[in-house]
């Protein structure tokens, strides 16, 4: 083989080079040619000249062991004579040998650098604009014979981008249609938001600022009648604010060092054009689609769908996952249509409540309940960043109750029946009162002394009312039914979907009024009947649940006196039940007043009382399991108060005891999966307490037991599965902190 710079009889003629460039040369001859042009300047120069004159440009790649595939994002190089020195570092690989690739897309006047990404019908390349000597991004159709729908989508994106001029939206530079339709756009050097996150959550302020920037850009699009319809992390590109950073340097930068830029307007709808989306066509990504978007009705597509998608992006930034995580698109779409998302604070309790309210307002199922514009969303996020009150508020009790009724019709009917019963009792009382007033009038006329007769009639009427055994029996039945409902609802937690928390609290407020009406009816000479001590305790308990610290001190003192007078019956099932309820109210009251040590002691006393009750009742297995759940919850309350009082050791002991109690529940119990989630929740503060007390190995052991329990449990309910997945991720993250594998605090 001749040395570099010489000419030999072995040099290749134009015909052979053209066959090589056309891809018609056999593999053996092509290998000989490639080996020759490495050392022959003449043939290499001849090839470069042919590249300029051929109908098809030459696409070459560095020689390596692997071949090019559709998913390959490696660099693609051409003859160095065509590329300026400024781009040599971008295009050069570690191997200087070249070989030909025949299946790459062809765009005249552009030199490919690397493939940035691809979708179902298109792909995006970083290319060198040979004429202007600049790197740009080109989006083209990946198929040689695209369908009309593919071309329409690409041209739709070009038309949408052509309207927009905003620093937060990728700018269109040119539309090509010589060989195949393509869009030339500004090149964004950084990764997508999806690549940067990789399933992890970020801080509140960082998330709020990023979504505020994206909302500002999408508001510009809405002002120009462009609705994106597919906002998601993979369509939000991150442009480094500092130019010239290498890939390695960019990978270590925080999100605040990037400027988010919206891309991929292929599914965008032009609000002033009726020919872009056909009726019945559903476009978008299931996890990020608004409920009205699923119907495929173009008339329902408004800027509100983009605001919903921004809420999903904010949710994912805060929790590390979208609101709905399932194994299929069909299941995701069904949840979007029918289910309410878990509140972000249920997955990450440290999230700001204001930011959670902003996120949930964006995710409202009704478009009218979301922000009116993306600008309104941006302004509310800015209020959060500035430390000012935000406009987003949790859904009111009435709205929550209405939604709950739609999802729980049977239970709602039961509540309505109870309220109707109470109303009937009230009406009967009114009618009875009218009859008594008639008697008063007759007595006044008969005795000729109006004032004296009125007083006597009032006393007689009240005595007759109290002596009405039938009415009192109906009242007691209604109170008993109310007691059963309160006991059922008060035992529910965030994992029980029977009734929402706002609806439960609304019911509690109604119950307080019913109890107080009953006490007012049953008072003698203005004094409460000692037989009604349970009702008074129940009212105090409900007041503490609705507003901590609001229980009446005089009522509590009166209950204590009645209990002391009934000490002869101490130890009976009835007296223990009353003592447990009263002690629980005392503990709740102490917590509200900040008396943490006293509250911890009272919670421990409640545990002892309910254990004695369980021994007396000797309940069957399922009721015993409910006792274990109640006991474990009280022990966690005790642990929280001991922690607040600064006693880490006792707090850890209480948390460990709670987990051991939950471990007594057998796997055959219908609520086993819910109990597993509770044990995972309890394991997080236990590991924190043990680690904070310097007991690293015990903390790791507690986490490992919880992770083993998670791995051994199958969750049928997708919402429960999502909650368990979030807890498992937090446990794994904290384990890395405890073992020193990762720095920082618990996510």
- Among 183, 97, 177, which Cα is nearest to 140's? 183
Contact 168, 216 (CB under 8 A): yes
Catalytically active residues, by annotation: 230
Distance (Å, whole) CA 224 – CA 265: 13
Residue 561's DSSP bridge partners are: none
Structure tokens at 58: 């030459």
Count of positions (residues) in the chain? 747
Contact 690, 661 (CB under 8 A): no
Residue 260's DSSP bridge partners are: 238
Contact 380, 391 (CB under 8 A): yes
Distance (Å, whole) CA 201 – CA 213: 18
Distance (Å, whole) CA 430 – CA 517: 13
- Among 580, 584, 670, which Cα is nearest to 625's? 670
Q: DSSP alpha helices (H): ranges in 647-717?
A: 648-662, 672-692, 696-711
Distance (Å, whole) CA 144 – CA 151: 12
Distance (Å, whole) CA 436 – CA 422: 21
How big, in percent rounded to 5, are the helix, strand and coil portions of the chain?
60, 10, 30
Is residue 497 helix, strand or coil? coil
Distance (Å, whole) CA 327 – CA 718: 9
CB atoms within 10 A of CB 275: 8
Distance (Å, whole) CA 462 – CA 458: 6
DSSP category for residue 176: E
Structure tokens at 310: 């921004």
Structure tokens at 537: 């305790």
H/E element, 227: strand 226-227
Contact 48, 79 (CB under 8 A): yes
Torsion of CA 134, 140, 144, 145, to 10 degrees: -150
Distance (Å, whole) CA 716 – CA 718: 6
Contact 103, 149 (CB under 8 A): no
Torsion of CA 633, 637, 639, 644, to 10 degrees: 160
Per the listing, tokens 């929740």 go with 681
- Among 412, 517, 536, which Cα is nearest to 475's? 517
Is residue 94 helix, strand or coil? coil
- Among 349, 350, 352, which Cα is nearest to 389's? 352
Contact 489, 504 (CB under 8 A): yes
Distance (Å, whole) CA 36 – CA 20: 13
SS (H, E, C) 585-645: HHHHHHHHCCCHHHHHHHHHHHHHHHHHHHHHHCCCHHHHHHHHHHHHHHHHHHHHHHHHC
DSSP category for residue 286: G
Structure tokens at 505: 């609290």
CA angle at residue 317 from 316 to 323, to 5 degrees? 15
Contact 190, 170 (CB under 8 A): no
CB atoms within 10 A of CB 542: 23
């Amino acid at each position: 083989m001749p040395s570099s710079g010489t000419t030999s009889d072995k040099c290749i003629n134009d015909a052979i080079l053209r066959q090589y460039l056309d891809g018609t040369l056999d593999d053996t001859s092509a290998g000989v040619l490639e080996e020759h042009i490495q050392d022959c300047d003449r043939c290499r120069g001849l090839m470069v000249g042919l590249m300029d004159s051929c109908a098809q440009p030459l696409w070459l790649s560095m020689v390596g062991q692997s071949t090019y595939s559709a998913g390959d994002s490696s660099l693609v190089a051409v003859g160095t004579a065509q590329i300026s020195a400024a781009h040599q570092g971008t295009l050069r690989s570690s191997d200087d040998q070249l070989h030909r690739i025949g299946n790459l897309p062809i765009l005249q006047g552009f030199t490919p650098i690397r493939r940035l990404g691809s979708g179902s019908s298109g792909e995006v390349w970083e290319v060198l604009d040979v004429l202007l000597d600049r790197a740009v991004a080109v989006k083209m159709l990946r198929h040689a014979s695209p369908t009309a729908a593919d071309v329409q989508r690409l041209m739709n994106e070009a038309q949408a981008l052509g309207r927009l001029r905003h620093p937060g939206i990728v700018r269109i530079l040119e539309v090509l249609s010589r060989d195949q339709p393509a869009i030339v756009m500004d090149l964004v050097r950084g990764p997508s938001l999806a690549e940067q996150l990789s399933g992890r959550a970020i801080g509140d302020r960082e998330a709020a600022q990023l979504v505020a920037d994206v909302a500002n850009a999408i508001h510009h699009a809405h002002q120009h009648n462009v609705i994106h319809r597919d906002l998601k992390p993979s369509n939000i590109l991150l442009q480094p604010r500092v130019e010239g950073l290498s890939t390695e340097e960019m990978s270590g930068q925080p999100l605040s060092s990037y400027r988010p830029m919206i891309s991929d307007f292929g599914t965008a709808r032009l609000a002033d054009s009726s020919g872009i989306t056909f009726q019945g066509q559903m476009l978008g990504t299931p996890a990020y689609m608004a409920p009205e978007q699923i119907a495929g009705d173009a008339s329902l597509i408004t800027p509100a769908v983009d605001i919903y998608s921004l809420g999903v992006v904010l949710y994912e930034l805060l929790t590390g996952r979208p609101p709905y995580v399932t194994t299929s698109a069909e299941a995701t779409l069904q949840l979007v249509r029918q289910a309410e998302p878990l509140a972000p604070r249920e997955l990450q309790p440290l999230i700001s409540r204001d930011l959670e309210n902003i996120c949930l307002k964006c995710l409202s199922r009704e478009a009218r309940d979301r922000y009116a514009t993306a600008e309104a969303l941006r302004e509310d996020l800015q209020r959060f960043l500035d430390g000012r009150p935000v406009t987003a508020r949790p859904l009111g009790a009435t709205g929550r109750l209405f939604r709950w009724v739609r999802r729980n019709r049977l239970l709602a009917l039961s509540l309505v029946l109870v309220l109707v019963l109470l109303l009937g009792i009230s009406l009967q009382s009114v009618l009875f009162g009218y009859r008594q007033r008639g008697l008063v009038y007759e007595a006044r006329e008969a005795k000729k002394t109006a004032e004296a007769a009125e007083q006597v009639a009032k006393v007689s009427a009240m005595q007759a009312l109290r002596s009405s055994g039938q009415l009192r029996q109906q009242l007691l039945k209604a109170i008993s039914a109310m007691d059963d409902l309160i006991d059922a609802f008060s035992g529910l937690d965030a994992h029980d979907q029977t009734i929402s928390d706002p609806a439960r609290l609304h019911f509690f407020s109604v119950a307080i009024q019913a109890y107080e009406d009953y006490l007012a009816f049953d008072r003698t000479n203005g004094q409460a009947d000692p037989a009604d001590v349970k009702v008074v305790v129940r009212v105090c308990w409900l007041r503490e649940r609705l507003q901590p610290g609001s229980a009446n001190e005089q009522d509590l003192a009166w209950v204590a006196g009645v209990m002391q007078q009934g000490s002869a019956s101490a130890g009976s099932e009835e007296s223990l039940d009353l003592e447990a309820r009263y002690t629980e109210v005392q503990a709740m009251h102490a917590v509200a007043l900040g008396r943490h040590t006293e509250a911890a002691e009272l919670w421990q006393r409640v545990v002892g009382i309910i254990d004695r009750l369980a021994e007396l009742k000797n309940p069957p297995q399922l009721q015993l399991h409910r006792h274990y759940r109640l006991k474990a919850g009280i022990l966690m309350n005790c642990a929280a108060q001991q922690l607040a009082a600064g006693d880490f050791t006792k707090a850890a002991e209480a948390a460990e005891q709670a987990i051991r109690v939950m471990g007594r529940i057998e796997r055959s119990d219908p609520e086993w999966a819910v109990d597993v989630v509770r044990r995972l929740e309890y394991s997080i503060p236990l590991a924190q307490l043990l680690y904070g007390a310097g007991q690293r190995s015990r903390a790791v052991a507690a986490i490992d037991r919880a992770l083993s329990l998670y791995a051994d449990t199958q969750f049928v309910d997708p919402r429960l599965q999502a909650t368990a997945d979030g807890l498992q991720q937090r446990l794994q993250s904290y384990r890395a902190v405890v073992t020193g594998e990762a720095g920082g605090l618990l996510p």
